Structure 1
């Protein structure tokens, strides 16, 4: 039995989809905060169980009978370490054969502030004695692609990544990697996967791709980190989100979102999704 936490999130749903291609639905558990939001998964035969990272008492029931657990990192920055510790403790009580965790690319040396709680979680996993696989995910291309409508409106992509190269991949690529680890017949305990896209780009190249595909003028405007943060707040993003995004861009300028090891494509057995395809999909979704 495979348990996927955060299964109604954007990544979690894609992991469930990937698992269903090879595994019986009855052997997959969608562990979710709000089971009513997983009715569609239940309709596909997936077991749906309540599991709230902030309510440790819900986790033992969610993990009952589990052989493998995928811990998808919490979206609540600042609370992740304690929330993840609760999941680790429950997985240990369940005596799972493998706990896979979605960490951050090169977490132990990353310049991104986002890495801090991932490093804490990786330390907690090491201390737990559980069989662990680390899925150190790079950036999702969708993180940038979702800004395309704004870029088209204003004729510019804003950021503070300088000439930093970003080896991102589509969210579905990372989901397929997680599923591959969970169903692998090869031992996965102790594996550390540095997962990133096959090719990399600068934000100037990202802006150029939008321009080519849309037929509109779009340029990249590189800003100091503080100015980019202020711009994000000005368009209505909460301060913590603006902090996260501006810091991540600054980290990208230092190489924090780059890797050329091709571990992701090797793991999923196919090339990662090209930037052009994600841009194309977003333009179609936006009606452009």
Structure 2
């Protein structure tokens, strides 16, 4: 589709338009057969990514979503039928700030009369684990924003699965050894499955579904976005198959894993977060909620099916190149 300027078409305002999730939302709406006016919100409208959006016909506006800048955020949201919001915890590592900025977006969307607020949330790990895992603060803070949003206006929570690109992180993915093989140090059971997603290509697929599906377009519900459930063992074997590398998974007990993080010099907050991600082995990333019948309907109704990890590797030959 060509992005329209026809005022009869709904205006979708996308926060973080030049980022991974926001950019995915825009690119997937551009591919829709339905007409949309699109407005991307970013802090720096001069960067190349913003210019590319303009070339697509997207209106790009500047707004810094921080407490104290409420009037500018409302102006950026003005006229919106739908607002997509996302927060960036790892820019500041402050869960209280994340909650405040998330609520700011909710309040701005409500103030301009938006009919639907879509937020990139995550599960409330502390609550769902009965307090056993209480340090995954950026999951809990996003869940709090969703809870607040639901009390203010029609809201859909579209939660991103485990980024396939996380595997490029030295803390989360395999590391190359001097002999050319790869060692993957983890605290997770190698058979425990993660819901993987090629976020840049596919996250927006699920947001598009939330906007276009009668089941979600008036608000309510949570959508879990992922392509496949994949264990570390499956990921390793796929890397061996597609990239021709040799993989060795070293599964440590939680204490040894935390000690390895300390030895690597990570700050205490990061160690607590990474350590408590052990919840995935015991409960599953989304505590099994993504397996419900409602979520199966979402998968069946997508405009196309998201990429598997193998498809992601083949589409991105430079990723994890041997």
Select 2:113's aligned residue among 92, 95, 99.
95
Q: For each residue in 1:104-126, what CA deviation from the matched residue of structure 2 results, as whole angstroms up to 9, or x when unmatched?
A: 25766265724211221122112
Structure 1: runs of 5+ lacking an equivalent: none
Does the Cα contact within 8 Å between 1:168 and 1:257 map onto a contact in 2? Answer: no
Aligned to 1:109: 128
Does the Cα contact within 8 Å between 1:133 and 1:191 map onto a contact in 2? Answer: yes
Deviation at 1:3, TM superposition (A): 0.3
Aligned to 1:273: 307
Does the Cα contact within 8 Å between 1:165 and 1:255 map onto a contact in 2? Answer: no
Structure with the greater alpha carbon radius of gyration: 2
Do residues 20 (structure 1) and 20 (structure 2) align? Answer: no
**Count of matched residue positions in the alignment of Structure 1 and Structure 2:** 285
**Aligned mates of 2:58, 2:205 — CA distance in 1:** 18
Superposed CA RMSD in Å reads 2.9
Aligned to 1:82: 100
Structure 2 counterpart SS, 1:200: strand
Q: For each residue in 1:199-239, what CA deviation from the matched residue of structure 2 results, as whole angstroms up to 9, or x when unmatched?
A: 32221222222222232221111123454345456557665
**Aligned mates of 1:149, 1:201 — CA distance in 2:** 14
**Higher relative helix content:** 1
Deviation at 1:61, TM superposition (A): 0.9
Which protein, 1 or 2, shows the higher relative CO under an 8 Å CA cutoff with sep ≥ 6? 1
Q: Compared with structure 1, are the counterparts of its residues 267 and 81 closer, same or farther at alpha carbon in structure 2 (3 Å cutoff)?
A: farther
Aligned to 2:167: 144
Structure 1 counterpart SS, 2:195: coil
Q: Compared with structure 1, are the counterparts of its residues 184 and 43 closer, same or farther at alpha carbon in structure 2 (3 Å cutoff)?
A: same
Q: For each residue in 1:36-71, what CA deviation from the matched residue of structure 2 results, as whole angstroms up to 9, or x when unmatched?
A: 231221232211112222132320111011111011
Do residues 253 (structure 1) and 276 (structure 2) align? Answer: no
**Aligned mates of 1:127, 1:119 — CA distance in 2:** 13
Q: Following superposition of structure 1 onto structure 2, how do residues 227-238 of structure 1 map, counting pairs within 5 Å?
A: 227-232=256-261
Deviation at 1:242, TM superposition (A): 4.7
Per the normalisation by structure 1, the TM-score is 0.85
Does the Cα contact within 8 Å between 1:161 and 1:251 map onto a contact in 2? Answer: no
**Aligned mates of 1:4, 1:56 — CA distance in 2:** 16
Most deviating of 207-216 and 77-86: 207-216
Structure 2: runs of 5+ lacking an equivalent: 1-10
